[in-house]
Amino acid sequence: MEDLRGIQQMAEQLGITQRTIRFYEDKGLIEPQRAGTTRVYTKREFARMQLILRGKSLGFSLRDIKDFLDLYDHDPAHIEQTHLLQTRVSDRITELEEQQRAIIQTLAELRLIERMALDRIRAVEG
């Protein structure tokens, strides 16, 4: 028999809330089976949730994650999926490098302002 989990067990094992799981279900990223009104999650859904959470932690959009998961289901050799992954990862690296440059510039400006403020305080307080 396939390894099945209820929503509470799934949430606990993933370290997320049940609401988070239902959110991704509503977005069509996971499709639990139903036993009456109870959601039942397979190993496949658990693995998909792990991929979703990993993708979100790396800053990918839900659309990127959905595209990636959809290809996984339709490309048994995972060639298209790997090409898409490489492209999206490359784009994300570029985006993060641009943010890093902006953060470095902002920190330099803030340090200058802080230094000027401290110099003024010292001059006034004597």
When divided into structural domains, the chain yields a total of 2
Higher per-residue pLDDT: 37 or 101:
101
Helix/strand/coil (H, E, C) string of 36-71?
Answer: CCEEEECHHHHHHHHHHHHHHHCCCCHHHHHHHHHH
Q: Residue 1 — very low, low, confident or very high, per pLDDT cuts 50/70/90?
A: very low
Quick one: pLDDT at residue 107? 98
Confidence at 112, pLDDT banded by 50, 70, 90: very high
- Residue 40 phi, psi (nearest 5): -130, 125
Q: What is the pLDDT of residue 15?
A: 97
Query: What range defines the domain where residue 106 resides?
Result: 75-126
The answer to which of 6-15, 28-37, 67-76 has the lowest mean pLDDT is 67-76
| Tokens 């370290």 belong to residue | 15
Q: What is the phi-psi region of residue 15: left when phi exceeds 0, alpha when psi lies from -120 to 50, beta otherwise? A: left
- 83 and 50 inside one domain: no
53 and 81 both lie in a single domain: no
Give per-residue pLDDT as tens, 43-71: 999 999 999 999 999 999 999 999 988 88
- For residue 67, tell me if it sits in a domain: no
pLDDT-derived band at 2 (thresholds 50, 70, 90) equals low
**pLDDT tens digits for 71-87?**
877 777 878 888 988 99
25 and 55 fall within a common domain: yes
pLDDT at 54 (0 to 100): 95
> Helices in 1-126 by DSSP H: which ranges?
7-14, 18-26, 43-57, 62-74, 79-125
Instruction: Report whether 28 contacts 69 (CB < 8 A).
Output: no
75, with CB counted inside 10 A (0-12, 13-18, 19+), is middle
Amino acid in position 70: D
